[in-house]
Structure 1
Amino acid sequence: MTMTLPSDIRTELYEAMTANTYVRLSLPEGEHEGFIVGLSKQLVLLQAIHEWQDVGALIAPVESIEACEVSEFHDAQIRILDFNSVKRTKRYSWVKLGSYEELFKSLKFKNKFVVVSLEDDADVGQIDSIEKDSVDLKAVDPGGNWIEEALDCPYEEITLVQFDDSYSRTLQRYVERTSATLN
């Protein structure tokens, strides 16, 4: 999966982050729009925007980014986001992007439910344990039930990590509420 990233894309990511520019990132599995709010040599953190709404955070390997584009409608898009009270945020400044290990430690510390997308699959749940080359996820099925065995997610297979999105937040609240009523 290792590929050489053209330096111009890395430069575009950095410039978009420092300018607070609204961008569209093209990844092999699709496009995502928002504001780049964190960047390391390995990972990019996007405050994701969909349909004029802040939809949480998305982290992708920098090497997987095919393009970082600014729309010809950029200024109008920013005005619409401002109209809808969507602002660029620093609320993710606590996220550590130096490596996957650091990333997952920071997410676990904040007790975040995450969506981890691997090459052909995606799972949502709580970070169970963090190793040098993988993270174990205590996953939840779509019905809000804990999956008995932790799922091993090798870093080299991770294509996307999401948190603070509606899906994972809803499942986390549901699981916490049903666990509390069972005890």
Structure 2
Amino acid sequence: MMRVESLFSSFPSIYTERLVLRQMAAADAEDIYEFYSDPLVTKHLDWNGPTSIEDTRMLINSWNHAFEERRIIPWGISLNSQKPMPIIGTVILMPIRGHFEDDHRFPLTVGYDLKSEFWSKGIMSEAMQAVINYSKTHISPHRIQAEVYPENVASLKLLKKLGFQEEGVLRQYLMHEVTKTFLDVVLLALLIN
């Protein structure tokens, strides 16, 4: 396992057969805003995505700032076959509380989004497997968990394929940022050690 200092000394890009998981920059704002503007993408989120390209730049900046503070690792997903490499999705890994240097007392949580035209092509499965492998090698968490809406069948299927087990429904656990309604989520977890 890497020490936290070396883990955060530079952004940890990950390369797979088809993908590059990389740090997002202000130049990616248009791509990210485009896929968050798709109601199919935001249908299963607790927010409606950024409201403008400028808001997206601020979101990217906040993610990068949180990385510098060792609170999250926010990867942008690109296809390595496309030049330049537009962002087509995200995977964000973070401790449920605190920072990565909190000696793994807290589970990690993972969230992800993908441009709808790339659904059902194995892209998110490949990205998530890469993040899980990275976590095992460099972070060694005891537990990684995810929260999914019960009606998000594709996401539930993906996580179970990756070895996550369903642990139950957290009733009215999240409040939607825009509608202010409380939402149920299914909690799934992968035990590493």
Q: TM-score, normalised by structure 1?
A: 0.30
Q: Which has the higher strand share?
A: 1
User: Which one has a bigger Cα radius of gyration?
Assistant: 1
TM-score (norm 2): 0.29
